[in-house]
Structure 1
């Protein structure tokens, strides 16, 4: 499916991790301009926390700084190798859990930036296992965001059981029924030299966790369980997002529900979810989702052997494009019309067990 509220939040969460990391005491001072690639200086090194192994700190600090300093440049494969080489040092010296967490957290972030979700997910799980509960408040928010991000990384790497276990753990920790008691947005505590995230998780973060639950179940092929999970989420999401003025975010959840229903053969329900998604997109002026909703509704009608309804949705698509002055969408509407004419000229085969292309939007992979 198309972009849902969790998909939007994931990018924000990863960015927040990087921003927070840049403020941590073990990092070199953030640099910009010509010295963007410089490593920790002596004053920064002096600020590093004292641990049982200064050798680890001296080797880790510049790597950490290079990964999280804005504009920093490095070889991803070489950086991965350098970070991996530090793990035996920690094990040999029986380092504290926080050191293991920092190492694996950095590895996970690096793997994600390299487009390696499976490796990122595994590193994230090692970080969470090493430090199940942050002992230092300043690491509580990175720990939460890493926990949330690992669900998507594991799922995208095909590790659905691990992803499901992680998201279920988060769901137990943050019950959906209590979401209204959480803050609507996160604030930062700037009372100390090192800013710390405060008032988290937010309502949107927790709603995203439950959207991920439906996503992982759907990717596993457990369509009925995914539908049930998303149906439980829908009334809470409707109510909370309305209060927060975030109604456009509902479109992702509705797209997920439409796909769940479609895969179960519940075409009428899928159509209803898509129509509600369309109305929200129209109200928000979200042109991309409007066009996609018209397209999905046209496909549903065609697959239900209702050519008249399919043509009506296509005509509405075309009218909307003309009203918006979108010449590219007008051209696409003509292509869709030609394809529809071609399909109608061929005797329809027997109803397939699984939909043939084009088909309704798939669950989002992020």
Structure 2
């Protein structure tokens, strides 16, 4: 179970920030379908290049390459090019917005390169440089960076910073007021520069509360994590039902099962897993179905209930047979042999760990927008 019941989440960090380009003050208008793929080489209005500051001249084409549709570049080279611009901003005492834009772009690149620790670090620099949006057209990017940095910081081991960021957002958006937020984000296209409207969405803020439970769990604060997730569960049930997103309950239920398991509350863990299983079956989410059967089998094995463990394994095999999944059927047979071996071995010779292969990974977290 220690390996089998890994933290399952509705998401694994936010989707690449490049998808936010439609809301940004673009140097090229590719995101709105005009001039797709263009790369601007001139500074946007209000940010003219001066002899004493060539930041914009060098930053503009990099920024456009990152956020223009179809832009191609080397991630490592782009990171190096962006990093080289920071001394220019510091030397010329540039406005906070310029620092934010640079760090925001750097965070985007690190996220695309699957470097969450680096993304979290530079995201914090962006938020420190500009604690509040200095321009309305950057308000949404500021919020998204605030949300994304929670998971990035946690994945980089900076739990206290991640917890602080989550708590800051939770204070702004109390759980009991989530229903007042928009169901989905809309874009205002009435101006040349599209801007996000009606945000944050309910799913975005629910994601922040999920991240709070995740960070507490990773810190080893299992009871606090369980309490946070239990408070979230009824709101998630209500809101996801209203949004037609009930299959997404499975992630929170897996978290609750993990919290309960770490506290020795085995019956509660089993109940959460069984509910997760039923949701996954209804949604046709095969990966979660197999993983739930596997987790339930392992839980029964740890509770010294071999009969129940075999029943869950039989259900696993039956589901695989009904779906025509030969690979999962073969895995079920492998697990059966492992169970047989463990039951036949004297207690002193049994491995410390239960029969376990890494469980099937859950689908990545949906973007919080």
- For the criterion TM > 0.5, the same-fold answer is yes
Q: Does the 8 Å contact 2:163/2:215 carry over to 1?
A: yes
**Partners of 1:343 and 1:351 in 2: CA distance:** 6
Do the aligned partners of 1:189 and 1:198 also contact (CA within 8 Å) in 2?
Answer: yes
Task: Note if 1:358 corresponds to 2:356.
Answer: yes
Q: Secondary structure of 2:347's partner?
A: coil
Task: Report the Cα offset of residue 363 of structure 1.
Answer: 11
Are the structure 2 counterparts of residues 26 and 323 from structure 1 closer, same or farther at C-alpha, using a change threshold of 3 Å? closer
Q: Structure 1 residue runs of 4+, over 6 Å off?
A: 35-38, 359-366
**Could you say which residue in structure 1 is the equivalent of 2:126?**
127
Give me the whole-angstrom Cα distance separating, in 2, the residues matched to 1:230 and 1:351: 35
1:107-156: CA deviations, max 9, x gaps? 11111112211111010011111111112121111111111111111111
**8 A Cα contact 2:339 2:355, kept in partner:** no
More helix by share: 1
Distance 2:331 2:80 in 1: 47
- Cα separation, 1, equivalents of 2:37 and 2:188: 28
Give the paired residue count. 354
CA separation of 1:62/1:108 partners in 2, compared to 1, >3 Å: closer, same or farther? same
Q: Which residue pairs with 1:5 in the alignment?
A: 10
Q: Is 1:207 the counterpart of 2:206 in the alignment?
A: yes
How far did residue 52 of structure 1 move?
A: 7.6
Distance 2:324 2:200 in 1: 42
Deviations 1:165-195 (A, max 9, x none): 1111111111111001111111111111221
Q: Are 2:49 and 2:56, in contact at CA under 8 Å, matched by a contact in 1?
A: no
Equivalent residue, structure 1, for 2:168: 169
Kindly indicate whether residue 221 of structure 2 is the aligned counterpart of residue 222 of structure 1: yes
| Structure 2 stretches lacking a partner, 5+ long | 1-5
Q: Deviations over 1:317-349 (max 9, x none)?
A: 111111122222111111111111111111235
Aligned equivalents of 1:104, 1:146: Cα separation in 2: 10
What residue number does 2:24 align with?
24
Could you tell me which residue of structure 2 aligns to residue 314 of structure 1? 313
- Secondary structure, counterpart of 2:336 in structure 1: helix
Matching residue of 1:270: 269
Shift of 1:75: 2.5
Tell me the CA shift for residue 87 of structure 1. 1.2
> Which residue is equivalent to 2:3?
none
Q: Distance in 1 between matches of 2:350 and 2:179?
A: 45
Q: For residue 49 of structure 1, what is the aligned residue in structure 2?
A: 46
CA 1:209–1:166 in structure 2 vs 1: closer, same or farther (change >3 Å)? same
Structure 1 alignment gaps of length 5 or more: none
TM-score, with normalisation over the residues of structure 2? 0.89
Residue 342 and residue 49 in structure 1: after superposition, are their counterparts in 2 closer, same or farther (change >3 A)?
farther
Change (3 A) 1:223 1:209: same
Q: Distance in 1 between matches of 2:219 and 2:165?
A: 15
Query: What CA distance in whole angstroms lies between the structure 2 residues aligned with 1:77 and 1:325?
Result: 43
Query: Aligned ranges for residues 100-115 of structure 1 at < 5 Å?
Result: 100-115=99-114
CA RMSD of aligned residues (A): 2.6
Q: What's the offset of the Cα at 1:100?
A: 0.7
1:23 CA displacement: 5.5
User: 1:214 Cα shift?
Assistant: 0.4
Q: Answer whether contact 1:297 1:313 (CA < 8 A) is retained.
A: yes
Q: Is the 8 A contact 1:6 1:212 kept in 2?
A: no
Structure ranking higher on relative contact order (CA contacts 8 Å, 6+ apart): 2
Query: What does the per-residue CA deviation read over 1:292-329, in whole Å, with 9 as the maximum and x for residues that have no partner?
Result: 11110000001111000000011111111111222221
Question: TM-score under structure 1 normalisation?
Answer: 0.89
For residue 24 of structure 1, report the CA deviation from its aligned partner.
3.3
Equivalent residues of 1:215, 1:226 under 8 A apart: yes
Q: Distance in 2 between matches of 1:209 and 1:22?
A: 23
